[in-house]
Each structure stands twice: as C-alpha cells, then as structure tokens.
Amino acid sequence: MFALRCPKVLITIVLLISWLEPFEFQGGQWDMVDLFAGVARISRLGRAHGKKCAAMDIGYHENRRVFDINEEPGFVLAVMTILEGTYEEVFACLGVCCSSWVSTSRGSTHRSWILPMGWQGYQTVEAANKMVSRTVLIVMVILAMRGVWLLEQPSSSLIMRHDRFVEFQDLMQALQMRFFRQSFWMRALGHQTAKRTLLWSNTAWLVDFDLGRLARDKLRGEVQTTDRYKSRDGRSRWKGNKNLKSTQTLGWALTTFVCARARIFLCSNDVNGS
C-alpha cells in the first residue's frame, strides 16, 4: 500500500481492521467480489461456475448502514471483504450507483464536464461524491491485493471526472500502472435496451466487450425508459420514467460474458490480459 502511495488514513483503516477480533488475514475466501450487486447476477453465476463469490448491496439488510459504503460499517465491511479475497486473483465488479452522474440528472445535480462535482449544497450530490471517493479507496485496496477491478457506468456518466478519480488516474500514470476504458452496446449482449455503456479496469481484456456497431433496428429498446413532454415555455424536454431503474440490472448474456472473462483471468492470473 505504501508503494501505491495510498492515503495514510486508508492504511490506518486496514491496520485497524487487521487488529479486529476475530478477523484474520486468511485470504482465499473469495475469488469474486460483487459490490453494488443489485440482484447479484454476477455473483450467482460465478457460484454456478464454482467460484467463491461475495455480493454486497445496500438493500440486503434492513439496516442500510450495514452495506452502505458511505457509512462506516458498510465501508469497513467492503474493505474487509476485499482483504479476504484470494491474493493476486481476487476480481471485484463495481457497479457504482450512476443516478447522480448521468445526463438525465444534470438539471438537478448541476454537474458538467467543467464542474463534475456538481452543486455540493445538495445532500444527494454530496452523498454521490462521497460514494465515489470511497470507491477509489476500495480500488486501491484491490490493487494492493494485486487483483482486478471492473467499474461499469452508462456512457454519459461523469464519474471519471470526479476529483478523486482524476487524482487516481494521475497516480496510476506516475506509477506506470495501466488501466483501460472500453465502450460497448449492452443490447449487443442481450440487454433489453441499447444502453451505451463504459467500462474501466486494470485488465486489457475489456476490448472483448466491443462487438462492433449496433444495427439501426436494435437501437430502439424493448422498453421505453424516458418520457418526452413540452414545458410551459413550449420547449421539448424529457425525463426518466419508472422503467429507467431496471436498466441498471445486467442482462444474463452480459453477466455470462463478465464471468467468463473473470474465469479466464482467475485461471491465467494475467492482469494485463496479454
């Protein structure tokens, strides 16, 4: 962690966790860690293929603090779970909540390419910023474990413009550590909507997600996720409807693809994908 120039507070947290009873750095308990898991398709499919998988999501416990990384119990549990992963083999999928970062919410968050942190006077904006900051810390723990991290976001997300992620990218460049970005159409992998999606990871096999252009007849999804209307001043506007949230769930074909590539990594232990 010192070699990665991790913040001192993160190193302190890891040390404090190591002193907890009955926690021990046994390692090897998890091959895959599915954070922000939702319906946990990745971890369920991973288990079906014999992998030891852990899934965490804020909705898994009646006390939301347990799995909320913005809360101390949730963040500590996430770090503990990564530390219990298999050294040099743990694979972590990070589907960070995107609602505050996509184009749909620009009007309320005031985020932009120039001002990606948005209007921090809003509680929801501040909470989203905090979540991303803590996600960066979790990614650092994954790198300290010499594992692979995979971050998924809609194509309009500004999450990589977050101050902490910009600092993280600069740090990776200074340490000559590569990470990769790949865009693709989720419809090409069986999703119900076209949904242009971005992935970031420290493994080069992301390129396998690119299945080329999407046919014009496939651009219109099976469900309508936005409602268009006229404002009082006669301007055309749109907003997300009740179907939008369902597009956060990865389709089974895409989930299978992620797990297949994760299995290749777990078998080859090849972070750079070469």
pLDDT in tens, 34-92: 998 887 777 887 788 788 888 898 888 888 888 999 999 999 999 999 998 888 888 89
| Separation of alpha carbons 168 and 21, rounded Å | 32
Non-local (6+) Cβ contacts of 81 within 8 A are: 30, 33, 54, 56
Closest among 245, 191, 198 to 222, alpha carbons compared: 191
DSSP β-bridge partners for residue 238: 228
| pLDDT, averaged in runs of 10, over the chain (274 residues) | 88 86 70 85 80 88 88 92 88 89 89 93 94 95 91 91 94 89 78 78 82 71 66 71 56 53 51 42
| pLDDT value of position 218 | 66
What kind and span of H or E run contains 267?
A: helix 252-268
What is the pTM for the complete model shown? 0.81
Domains and CATH numbers, the chain: 27-221+247-265 (3.40.50)
Q: What pLDDT was estimated at residue 43?
A: 81
Q: Look-up: residue for tokens 């890891």?
A: 14
Q: What is the pLDDT of residue 205?
A: 78
91-113 residue pLDDT tens: 898 989 888 999 888 888 999 99
Residue listed under structure tokens 């416990």: 61
What is the widest separation between alpha-carbon atoms in the chain? 63
* Contact by Cβ (8 Å): 183, 196: yes
pLDDT at position 125 is 95
